[in-house]
Amino acid sequence: MKTTKPSPVRRVRAAGSPDSRTRLAADIGGTFTDVAAFDERSGRLLLGKTLSTPTQLVDGISTGVDKAGTRFADASLFLHGSTVAINTLLERTGARTALITTEGFRDVYEIGRINRPDAYNLFFRKHVPLIERALRFEVRERLSAEGEVLIPLDEAGVHAVCDRLAALKIEAVAILLLHCYRNPSHEARVRRIVEQRLPGVFVSTSHELSQEYREFERCSTVVSNAYIGPRVSSYVRGIDRHLKEAGFAGSFLLVQSTGGLYESAQAQEQCVRMLESGPAAGVIGAQALCRELGIEDAVAFDMGGTTAKAGVIYRGEVLTTGAALIGGYNQALPVQIPMVDIFEVGTGGGSIASVGAGGALHVGPQSAGAEPGPACYGRGGTRPTVTDANLVLGRLGADRFLGGEMRLDVAAAERAIATHLAKPLGMSVIRAAEGVLRIAATAMSYAVKGVSTERGLDAAAFTLIAYGGAGPLHASAIAREIGISRVIVPRAPGHFCAFGMLHSDLRYDFVRTWFNRLSDVAFEELRQVYDVLEAQGRKALAGSGVKPARVTVGYAADMRYVGQEHPVTVDLSPAVFRRRDRDAIKQHFDEVHLRRYGTNAPREAAEIVSLRATVSGVMKKPPLERVARGTRTPPREAQRGRRGVYFSELGRSVPTPAFARDALRAGNRIAGPALVEEYASTTVLLPGDSLRVDDFGNLVIDVGRRQG
């Protein structure tokens, strides 16, 4: 990618003119808002970064666009990812929501799966529903598992429920009727009545989000969508309005949790599909990088200001899942939608370090965010954070943060660590800061293990692709914790999720429950179901208003051994249909099951549970630009002197060379310890590490052996 530093330069072109070929991407994180703009004609990639503005998030986007040196009016496409959906869910700041469900089933949502991962924990708490029992209402109706009407819908009962909802001043309504994934007629009718009786209330039905069985998961999904709906839809409408006022005349698309794109009108209805939009875009960017570099297996590691996330590229493909547990396994609320398989921990640059009641040092999950931010930001924060620890240890340059635009306060960072950590623990400020980074590295290694080792993959054999503003600071330490031998830091890592959005494609996922033993499958019927799902996807693609370069279709099936409860997803190639090859499907399923669970049963019968189709509109991608060739020794203009940096591997502070990344050339090599600084990030080479710059300007680090 050809990166251009933030600049006040403006290109002169009429707003919305036919030759507008610029794509804008904006990623809002808990601390920073990142903007990337790609001009398809010149191949330029413009970047902008600014502190997020929690009270008015769109202001941060506008500032980022200005700092990138472009305009909304110059763009034909605006892509956006945000944490507003997931934060609303996790922080429980959503709307006052009610649930309408089939008579006799109001408690399905609360009973759940009765997970008890720690059987002897007397203080165990199960999941807490987003909707209290008093706001769950039943209506008389019943469908069979085949979708046949057993009891007609009692419309008078629905009207009576609406009377109560109006009196309770409900803001959102979730509708879950039994077996509606087979026959949505009752749910659709209830929706029409509610919308007629309660204008202005956000209404969501389960069949529009999921066509799969499992009533608890479907119920949790539709409740989550309704709960976050008013806030997220208002947020999307606000951005849409702002874009139009700024002269934007193109298409506004949002990133889904799959890493694919969907139109803003659909995002306002199906808000739950963008829970992991920003992190998913980063994994898509990592996949694009892997394809260019010929890497088959990699872990995409993203550390921002609030959290650290990890996803996996395995055999060249992003690993996805058909459902996710939001809030951790113990007290999780499931969401049954396709998404990139991401593991997240509450450790980021802004994570607050504290001393617990027992005298133990803790890092996160509370974050200082953008307001007030870490103590060193000088914006009113007084609690020590991971960023403060990095500054005190010399890993960040106080006068070089964000290219020197934002000067950091070393004294404030030292004061925060001394007051809240060093004195209570009876140790020096340096040792306390070192402890913060060690604990943070261990916590973040859990995210990497969560998407690799716990999925049956050997993390040590993977390449770690580190990005996010704070990712390169900690990547080598995390790699040593796990045993990973190679780390790659892409160009502009602080903007990488926004860059990943430029590599995202329009994507529509459809799934249908279809129980059949593999031995009894009629391939004609199988093909018919896939044809229906594909037609739905092509119709949605045509309605997006965006013309992709080409359309691709992928097929998969959820499969399990007969007698099992939970399935795994198996990709199906077109050749399988042509050959009608049951043995190939079974063998592939056995392999996937072995990788996922460490065991399989090739002699046992298998069955299909659900069929999946993914229709993608492939977009033109920004090319990766090669950098100029240099010698082994970095040029003089790249050398930025030395400063004292403390390394636990050496047990002391040592004069450490710093290099300007923009001045490095392909073929340059650097031995650790060293620092490589750029506009929005700093890469730390630990003692024993060695770095080379590849042809595309990526920093390729051979990780030294763990010491101490």
CB atoms within 10 A of CB 447: 24
Kind plus residue range of the DSSP H or E element containing 608: strand 606-618
**Pairing state between β 75-82 and 22-28:** parallel
Report the percentage of the chain scoring pLDDT > 70. Answer: 94
The mean per-residue pLDDT over the stretch 68-74 comes to 85
Q: Please write the tens of the pLDDT for every residue from 523-564.
A: 899 999 999 999 999 998 888 778 888 999 999 999 999 999
pLDDT at 394 over 80: yes
pLDDT at 1 over 50: no
Work out the angle at residue 162's Cα, subtended by the Cα atoms of residues 334 and 326, and round it to the nearest 5 degrees.
10
When pLDDT is cut at 50, 70 and 90, the band that residue 698 belongs to is: very high
For 89-233, CATH number? 3.40.50
pLDDT at 694 over 50: yes
Residue 221 φ/ψ, nearest 5 degrees:
-65, -50
Weakest mean pLDDT among 161-165, 347-351, 478-482, 659-663: 347-351
- pLDDT, residue 706, reads 60
The CATH 3.30.1490 portion of the chain extends over 506-618
Q: At 57, which amino acid appears?
A: L
pLDDT at 2 over 80: no
CA distance to 79, 319, 673, per residue, from 86 (Å): 18, 20, 38
Integer Cα distance of 664 and 682 in angstroms: 14
- pLDDT, residue 329, reads 57
pLDDT at 312 over 80: yes
The mean per-residue pLDDT over the stretch 617-646 comes to 91
- The CA R_g of the chain, rounded to the nearest whole Å, is 26
If 0-12 CB within 10 Å is exposed, 13-18 middle and 19+ buried, where does residue 696 land? middle
Integer Cα distance of 240 and 654 in angstroms: 51
The mean per-residue pLDDT over the stretch 586-610 comes to 91
The CATH 3.40.50 portion of the chain extends over 89-233
* Pairwise pLDDT comparison (372 vs 133), residue with the higher score: 133
- Strand partners for 142: 151
The mean per-residue pLDDT over the stretch 441-465 comes to 86
Q: Please write the tens of the pLDDT for every residue from 499-531.
A: 899 889 999 999 999 999 999 998 899 999 999
Q: Where are the alpha helices (DSSP H) in 37-105?
A: 57-68, 84-91
Dihedral angle at the C-alpha atoms of 6, 12, 14, 19, nearest 10 degrees?
-80
What CATH class does 506-618 carry?
alpha beta
pLDDT at 5 over 60: no
The mean per-residue pLDDT over the stretch 375-397 comes to 92
Kind plus residue range of the DSSP H or E element containing 77: strand 75-82
